[in-house]
Structure 1
Amino acid sequence: ERSLHDALCVIRCLVKERALIAGGGAAEIEASRTLLKEANSLSGAEQLCLAEFAKALEVIPTTLAENAGLNPIEIVTDLRNKHENGEREAGISVRRSGATNTYSEHVLQPVLVNTSAITLGAETVKSILRIDDIAISR
C-alpha cells in the first residue's frame, strides 16, 4: 500500500514539473559542493551559515549509504571526489553497491522532490529562528 502511494506521489510530482534529475544523493552532493565553494568566498556568519547548510545536504547521501548497508564515510568521500572531478551525476546505486553515474543507471528522481524538501527545510529553520528570536527578546 505504501509503495503504491509513493508511486502515485512520484507521478503527481512529474505532472506538476516534468523534470528528472540524477538520484542517489547526486544532486545533494553537487549542491553541497557548490555551496561550500561559495561559502569559502564569504566571511563571518554568512560563511558559517552557508557551510552548515552545505553540510546538512550531505546527510541525505550519508543516510542512503547507511540504509544500503554501505560504509557512509567511504561512499560520501568517493562522491565528493567524483563531483570534484566533474562527475556531476555520481550518486549511490544499490545495484552497484557504491558510487556510480546514477543517471546512466536510471536512478532518477523528480526535481520537485528536491526543491520541495530544500524549501521546506529552509522554511522550518526560519520558523525556529523566529521563535528563538522572540524567546530571547522576552
Structure 2
Amino acid sequence: KTIEILRSVSKPIDLSDRESLLSAVDTCLSSKVVAGHADLLAPIAVDSVLHIMETSESTNVDLRDIRMVEQVGGTVDDSELVQGLVLQKGSNKAASGGVSQMPNAKIALIQYCLSAPKTDMDNTVVVSDYNAMDRILREERKYILGQCKAIKKSGANVVLIQKSILRDAYNELSLHFLAKMGILVVTDIERPDVDFICRTLDCTPIAHPDQCKPEKLGHADHVGDVVMEGGGGRVVKFTGIKDQGKTVTVLLRGSNDLVLAEATRS
C-alpha cells in the first residue's frame, strides 16, 4: 500500500533532462554527512547511472555495474568518475626496471599460479647433495620461464593475477621474468572482482598457460600506476578501453575511513 501511495504522489522525470536529475539527487544528499560536497557527488551519481543504462527508456539499472573504489587520502573533492577501471592495488614492480605505465595495453587476466607446482598431498623432499638442489632450482626456473613466455607469446603486455588460497599465486622469480619482458603486473585480484573486470575489459579469464590466446585479451589505450595525492597510496587506472562493457568506476577520496563510508553510502 505504501508503494502505491508513493507512486500516486510521485512526479515523472525525463531521464534526458540532466538538470532535473541533478536537482533531485542534490536534494537527497542534503540530509547526508557529505552534503557539503553535493555539487561534486550529485553529477557523479547521475552520470554513473546514466552510463550503465541499457537504453534511454530503461526504468531500472543493476548497481553492481558501478564499482566503488575507496581510497584514503585527500578530500572528498578529489573524488572522480572514471570511464574505465580502477584497481586499488598498485602495479608490482619486483625487479629493477619494472613497468608502471603501458600504452596500447593488451590485458590478460590469469587464474593460474605463476609459481612452482605443488603436489595434491603434503610430501617431503629430501635433498642429499648440492647437485640435486641445483637441479631442482633449474627445473623450477625453467617451469616458470615457460609460463611467462606463454603470456608474452599471446601478445599480452599487462597481466592481472588472481589471488590464490591454495598456494602462492606468484613468486619473485616470475615477477622478475615478467618485468624483464616489459610486462606490467597487477597481483592479488580478488575472486569476486573477476566478473566485473572481465565485463569492463571485454576479456576472458585464463585458467591455464595453454589457453593464453590473443582473442582472450582485453584492450585499453593506457594502463598506468598512479600515485594518489594526499598520501593515498597507489592505484592502477585503465582508460580508453576498447569495447568497454556497460560499467563505470567511481573513485572516492576522503581523509579517513568514516568519511569514505559515508560518501559511499550516500
- What is the TM-score of this pair, normalised by structure 2? 0.19
Larger Cα Rg: Structure 1 or Structure 2?
Answer: 2
Name the structure with the higher strand share: 2
